[in-house]
Amino acid sequence: MRTSIRTRLTIATIGLALATAALALGTVYFITVAGVERHTRRDVQRELDSLVERWKAGGLDELVKMVNERVADPEHGGFAYLIAQEERLRIAGNVREWPRDEGTEDGQEPVSLEIRKLDTWVMKPVQLESITLGRHHLLVGRDSTDDATLIADLGKATLASLALVSFLTVAIGLGVSRNLLGRVESMRKKIARIIDGNRQERVEVSPHDDEFDELAAQFNRLLDENDRLLAQALDATNNIAHDLRTPLQRMHGRLEAALTARDTTPENRELLEALSADTHQLLDTFNGLLQLARLEGHELRRSMRPIEVDKLIEDVVDLYGPLAEDAGLELRVSVEPDLRVTADRQLLGQALANLIDNAMKYAPDGRSIEVEARRRGDAIEISVSDHGPGIPAPDRERVLDRLVRLEPSRSVPGTGLGLSFVAAVARLHGGTLELVDNDPGLRCTLHIPDEEGAKTPDLPSEAALEP
């Protein structure tokens, strides 16, 4: 599944912003936590050092006296003290007993101890340090309840900040992508309209004069140059038409006159008939190329108007019905009622005639040719099906090019321009030509937007084209 640039850019912007925010907030959180723990350990170590100095100065008695003073002092209410004998039995302090877990008493993590608070023993997490003083042991710690609360609150604040940053990042990312890629989408739609035939349109250039405006200006210059080259090509085609078609027509007329002359011998008549047929074939090919060039250059544009599909098909089938009957073929028509398209009636009718004529060339005797029309979604499908040899799947795109004739069809009269013309008419109407297998044979389907959903080029009205 294709992912749009807008989606990828939004995801990338949001991901980068969230990663940056998470890294920044995480760094602040862990630095703060480490600072709080370091500050607590420093206070504990400072208190331990002061007690050790008292012991060195006055021995155990002075140490016990200082510990009792500290326990009674409200300013040291957050500290835990314990002096113990060699067997770790309590001598003085506000801790009930020496920690049983010897491995964590000097660790980084707080240890749970029972501390006396107003004649009540309360279990508290304590960040502690201990030291051995001769035959006695000294333990000093600090209640880390407030630190734990601070760290928990900091964690909640970090998560809340990350959530807020995430929301703002998503909103900003969507806004930036919408503003940044909105112009790209506008350019894409405009280019699609130009490709569909609105060649007079140009991509809008804003007054911001940024990279998008430079791209739009360059693209508009490319379109102008393309129009100039196309106009030159059409002029050259018209000049060729004037310089070559008239002599060819005169040659064909003289050959026809020679064929009707009384003094033409049978041998010469046979040669003249062959030359006349070749000249006629050359004129047909030349006229087809000229008409296709004018169609693709929108020189054949006329007014687009709503037409009834059943009436169009009826007129074309009435024209080809007798020819099909003479060829031993049957034209079968199946048209849904109330089908309408906005189209150039003459061009669409000629395209349908080309499809029927092409089917008649390859349909075997005694078989039928089906002409059908139905609604499919927001388009009208007009199809012509035969039961001939068909076209191999790898060649179905190639036969829509000019002058392409597959090897089996070279013995059949034709110019190799019929399907090219039909495809050009389909594009002019905002539609497509599809070739599929009819098992056996070929099914050619014109997909033309219906009257309501038609996206045809903005063409001049019929009155505007009148001289």
The per-residue pLDDT for 325 is 86
- For residue 320, being part of any structural domain is answered with yes
How many other CB atoms sit within 10 Å of the CB of residue 127? 21
Q: 455 and 320 in one domain?
A: yes
Q: Which domain holds residue 117?
A: 5-150
Burial class (CB in 10 A: 0-12, 13-18, 19+), 94: buried
Cis peptide leading into residue 440 (ω within 30°): yes
Q: What percent of the chain has pLDDT over 90?
A: 4
* pLDDT of 435 over the 80 cut: yes
Rounded Cα distance, 256 and 281, in Å: 14
Residues 346, 385 contacting (CB under 8 angstroms): no
179 membership: H or E segment, kind and range: helix 145-195
- For residue 161, being part of any structural domain is answered with no
* pLDDT of 101 over the 70 cut: no
**Window from 13-22, 96-105, 126-135, 154-163 with minimum mean pLDDT:** 96-105
Name the pTM for this structure.
0.48
Q: 56 and 90 in one domain?
A: yes
Instruction: From 265, 295, 325, give the residue that closes a domain.
Output: 295
Q: 256 and 127 in one domain?
A: no
According to the per-residue pLDDT averaged within each range, which of 14-18, 41-45, 266-270, 418-422 is highest? 41-45
Indicate the average pLDDT of the chain: 79
Burial class (CB in 10 A: 0-12, 13-18, 19+), 241: middle
Strand-pair partners of 95? 115
- For residue 165, being part of any structural domain is answered with no
Alpha helix positions (H), 375-434: 418-428
Tokens standing for residue 349: 């009718």
Instruction: From 237, 261, 295, give the residue that closes a domain.
Output: 295
What total of structural domains would you count in the chain? 3
Q: 28 and 112 in one domain?
A: yes
The tens digit of pLDDT for each residue in 344-397 reads 888 888 888 888 888 888 787 778 889 999 998 888 899 999 888 888 887 777
Strand, coil or helix: what is 142? strand
- For residue 191, being part of any structural domain is answered with no
- For residue 453, being part of any structural domain is answered with yes
What stretches of 14-158 adopt beta strand conformation (E)? 79-84, 90-93, 111-117, 120-133, 136-143
* pLDDT of 169 over the 60 cut: yes
- For residue 229, being part of any structural domain is answered with yes
* pLDDT of 156 over the 80 cut: yes
Strand, coil or helix: what is 77? coil
Q: 457 and 353 in one domain?
A: yes
The per-residue pLDDT for 463 is 34
The per-residue pLDDT for 461 is 36
The string over 285-294, giving b where at least 16 C-beta atoms fall within 10 Å of a residue's C-beta and e elsewhere, is: ebebbbbbbb
Q: 380 and 235 in one domain?
A: no
Residues 321, 368 contacting (CB under 8 angstroms): no
Instruction: From 104, 120, 150, give the residue that closes a domain.
Output: 150
Q: 133 and 69 in one domain?
A: yes
Strand, coil or helix: what is 383? strand
Strand-pair partners of 448? 380
Q: 329 and 281 in one domain?
A: no
What CATH number does residue 386 fall under?
A: 3.30.565.10
459-462 long-range CB contacts below 8 Å, 24 or more apart? 459/301, 459/302, 459/303, 459/304, 460/301, 460/303, 461/303, 462/302, 462/303, 462/305
Q: 369 and 349 in one domain?
A: yes
What CATH number does residue 40 fall under?
A: 3.30.450
Which comes out higher in pLDDT, residue 268 or 341? 341
